[in-house]
Amino acid sequence: MRRTRIITALFVLLLLAIPASSLFLATPASAADNFSLQVTPSPLVTTVKPGESKVLDLKIRNAALGSEELKIEPRSFSFDNNSGKVTLRDTTPPDIAQWISFSNPTFTVKAGEWYTQKIRINLPKESGFSYSFALVISRKNNPEPTKGGRLIKGSVAVFTLVNVDRPGATRSLAVPKFVTSKGFYEYLPTTLSVQFKNTGNTIVQPYGNIFIQRGSNDKNPISTLPVNETRGYILPGSVRTLDATWDAGFPVYKTSTTSDGSEQRSLVWNWDHASRFRIGRYTAKLVAVYNDGARDVPIQSEVTFWVIPWKSISLLLVVLVALWYVGRWRNKRRTAKAVKRALAAKKEDSHEN
């Protein structure tokens, strides 16, 4: 159960491709307050064979005002499925503690300098198919509280994936769900949700596009939306939903933030985009790929939806009906005048005779 929570949490973070960043960063006021690290690569991903020893380089830049005495430690974390909150723990995952080490568990980096931390992985022969944990870089000694009573604790978490290249490792991916937020829209945008499920026992890295088309077999799509553009990973047994938004329409609903912080949705008429007027049935076609260790495997799925600007259509119908009545009234009036003139002319002719 514990490992399941770890895998789920890492999967969520990696799929969002969260860069390494300060977990707490106060407004710069002094060297103690100013904690800023840049870390690359992040996430840290590698493939190791059972019984193999491998060294990874993690580059750390001190972007703060002064030198930093730092330490690096592997940490487990928990994930709250209800709130989506990830909580780093103060403990090292027990299955990792035995085979991971650092060139310098504590080290000093001067302001503006890069430091390379070497991470050695001694994978046991009897190992699983993948491991996940976080490498937390923090100050060796936390500074004293400031005059205002604040205690600045800076740290950076680098989420790490170790994929094990061993017999029986399988990479397999499915798309159990591909849907739109609604089946009918008056105006764009529409949100398309792709659910990826890792059905294998090693990590996978899907990516691809959603093509907006009139029909399933159209060769020239109207729009192309990227899926998992940051190439995030999905861990074994994990399910991840990625959203893409199609808003290339006219008019289109836009959401803005008001002065009081609330969100306001309004219809925007940008006449430069008048050619993007959307009406009718559309097909969203997902074309994604992942590597199964030997080749790229394609995955396809489709969903259809409708865009019917019924208010505009209703207004147009009202205008057309009104014009029809006006035209009919004018025709009747002209006919009546013509008949009246004809009768008047006939009457004059009869008087002359």
Q: For residue range 173-204, list pLDDT tens digits in order.
A: 999 999 999 999 999 999 999 999 999 999 89
- Specify the pLDDT at position 12: 40
Is the predicted pLDDT of residue 19 greater than 60, yes or no?
no
Q: Where are the domains of the chain?
A: 2-164, 173-308, 311-353
Residue 82 is predicted with a pLDDT of 44
Please report the pLDDT score of residue 312 as a whole number.
81
pLDDT at 124 > cutoff 80: yes
Statement: residue 79 has pLDDT above 80: no
Q: 342 vs 61, which has greater pLDDT?
A: 61
Confidence at 146, pLDDT banded by 50, 70, 90: low
Tokens of 258: 């008001």
Q: What is the pLDDT of residue 3?
A: 43
* 2-164 CATH choice from 1.10.569.10, 1.10.40.50, 3.40.50.970, 2.60.40.10: 2.60.40.10
C-alpha to C-alpha distance for 90 and 86, rounded to whole angstroms:
13
Q: Are 159 and 134 in contact (CB under 8 A)?
A: yes
Give the per-residue pLDDT at 250: 95
What does the alpha-carbon distance between residue 250 and residue 222 come to, in Å, rounded to a whole number? 14
Q: Residue 147 has what pLDDT?
A: 54
> Which has more confidence, 235 or 53?
53
Of the listed ranges 135-149, 154-168, 241-255, 325-339, the one predicted with least confidence:
135-149
| SS (HEC) of the chain | CHHHHHHHHHHHHHHCCCCCCECCCCCCCCCCCCCCEEEECCCEEEEECCCCEEEEEEEEEECCCCCEEEEEEEECEEECCCCCCEEECCCCCHHHHCCEEECCCEEEECCCCEEEEEEEEECCCCCCCEEEEEEEEEECCCCCCCCCCCCCCCEEEEEEEEEECCCCCCCCEEEEEEEECCCEECCECEEEEEEEEECCCCCECCEEEEEEECCCCCCCCCEEEEECCCCCCECCCCEEEEEEEECCCECEEEEEECCCCCEEEEEECCHHHHHHECCEEEEEEEEEEEECCCCEEEEEEEEEEEECCHHHHHHHHHHHHHHHHHHHHHHHHHHHHHHHHHHHHHHHHHHHC
More confident position, 104 or 328: 104
pLDDT of residue 232: 87
Read off the pLDDT band of 40 (50, 70, 90): very high
d(CA 138, CA 60): 12
- pLDDT reported for residue 235: 82
Question: Domain 173-308 falls in which CATH fold?
Answer: Immunoglobulin-like (2.60.40)
Selected residue with higher pLDDT from 67 and 351: 67
Same-fold call for 2-164 versus 173-308 = yes
What pTM was estimated for this model as a whole?
0.73
Report residue 312 as tokens: 């505009």
Cα(129)–Cα(199) distance, integer angstroms:
13
**Greatest CA separation found in the chain?**
128
**Percent residues over pLDDT 70 in the chain:** 84
What is the rounded average pLDDT for all residues in the chain? 84
